[in-house]
Chain A
């Protein structure tokens, strides 16, 4: 490294620490600094000045409700039944849903022997649901399908769900849902052609632990899932599903 090289990068150290370099410039400077003791020393020396900038803002008292919301979410997440291994991505949920469907579709009688009790209940309920649904459909003149679900092993125990489909839409009904913090809502997701997408309407359980929401378009839906999300909903799931329901095609 020549002194000229160092000076060329040294000029950017302040901007780098203030977050004012373009991403490519940041990467270049970091690469250079790895092998440049001068730059490393400058970064170390100037860092406290940048750390002092946010401390300079006039201190406001945050609303007490903000603390309550944050801690309600934290306590909810800390409960063993709500602790999730990590924030699952939509792709992760998809794998999980596919894995679950694979379990249902293999092994003797279409079921692998190792498939958990919950999944077995779901299949039985799904078959029964079809029969029931057919009956309802005949009576109402609409094609209705009822599918009941239990959460896969490790998910919130006791939550039951059913999807009643009618024409191209459907209604998702949940029961035995634990009360959730004010800062959170239930959000339903549908998996269609391998893509997970949110259902627009957000919902919350009532005092009896029952909740329902409309799914405007059930066309091609393979799986319906429900997660708890921050108020306002999320663009992709940020917690593990409370319940996952396979929709027979």
Chain B
């Protein structure tokens, strides 16, 4: 038996997951509507093609539908769990396409698919505001720091591979990653203050 969608819409992500574990499609629909956009955007950012991004997003969400009951709230938020699944699947897709290098820039504006935005919920509006701030924080990082973060997170490269690719010592890569994340963390802390 499923809950009504209106009821599901009032539930927090963490409250939706047990319902998804019980195979409630209306709960899942609310979950998709909340996170499908950022998931698709992340998949596109990593694989760089619309069709591949759709495949990755679909596979990730179906995997979540089948394993929703396995979400462990002790390990983070539903959103970060979801995005880590999308990221892993996208990196797998990227690696399986031999000879194609990942995109290495934050400039996605040129490929934006502009469609009228739907009514935004307060939460979504806040997330977008935060995302804008984070984009700003990332954009303000020194190029060498943002590059190693991009190569690792969006390209799926290990720190050793990045060291070889950039021709810099491994210790330098580690330091740049650390400094970059610390700056982002600092921006987040300031934003919350």
With A18-B149, A57-B42, A66-B36: A52-B62 Cβ-Cβ less than 8 Å: no
Which B residues have a C-beta under 8 Å from some C-beta of A? 2, 23-25, 28-29, 32-33, 36-42, 44-45, 50, 54, 57-59, 61-62, 65-66, 76-77, 79-80, 83, 86-87, 91, 106, 108-109, 112-115, 117, 127-128, 130-131, 134-135, 137-138, 149, 152-153, 156-160, 162, 171, 173-175, 177-178, 180-182, 184-185, 188
A:22-68 near B, CB below 8 Å:
22, 45-63, 66-67
The verdict on A175 contacting chain B, using a C-beta distance below 8 Å, is no
Contact A55 B127 (CB under 8 A): yes
Output the nearest chain A residue to B75 by Cβ-Cβ distance.
Answer: A47
A67 near B36 with CB under 8 A, answer: yes
Q: Are B153 and A18 in contact (CB under 8 A)?
A: yes
Contact present for B108 and A49 (CB under 8 Å)? no
Is the pair A49, B158 in contact by a Cβ cutoff of 8 Å?
A: no
Please tell me if the beta carbons of B152 and A15 are within 8 angstroms of each other in the complex. yes
Alpha-carbon distance A230/B57, docked complex (angstroms): 13
When distances are taken between beta carbons in the complex, the residues of chain A under 8 Å from B54 are: 62-63, 66
A residues contacting B by CB (< 8 A) are 11-15, 17-22, 45-63, 66-67, 69-71, 73-75, 77-78, 83, 87, 183, 230
* Closest B residue by C-beta to A69: B58
Interface of B is mostly: helix
Q: Report whether A56 and B36 are in contact in the complex, using a CB–CB cutoff of 8 Å.
A: no
The residue from A54, A55, A60, A67 contacting B32, defined by CB atoms under 8 A apart = A67
A230–B55 Cα distance when bound, in Å, is 10
Q: Can you show 24 pairs from A to B with CB atoms below 8 A apart? A: A11-B178, A13-B178, A15-B158, A20-B152, A21-B159, A22-B160, A45-B185, A46-B181, A46-B185, A51-B79, A54-B86, A55-B130, A55-B134, A56-B134, A56-B138, A61-B37, A62-B36, A62-B37, A67-B32, A70-B61, A74-B29, A75-B25, A77-B65, A183-B58
A54 to B90, CA, bound (A): 12
Q: Which one, A14, A22, A56, A69, contacts B181 given CB within 8 A?
A: A14
Q: Is B152 in contact with A18, judged by CB distance below 8 angstroms?
A: yes
Partner of B131, one of A20, A59, A230: A59
**What is the CB-to-nearest-CB distance from A91 to chain B, in angstroms, rounded to a whole number?**
18
Q: Which residues on B sit within 8 Å (CB–CB) of A51? A: 76-77, 79-80, 83
Closest to A239 in B: B66
* Structural contact, A52 and B184, CB atoms closer than 8 A: yes
6 nearest CB pairs, A to B: A58-B108, A62-B40, A20-B152, A49-B185, A18-B152, A14-B177
Known contacts A53-B153, A58-B41, A78-B25: does B185 contact A48 (CB below 8 Å)? Answer: yes
Q: What chain A residues lie within 8 Å of B185 (beta carbons)?
A: 45-46, 48-49
Task: Give bound CA distance, A47 to B189, whole Å.
Answer: 12
Which residues of A sit under 8 angstroms from B57, Cβ to Cβ?
62, 66, 70
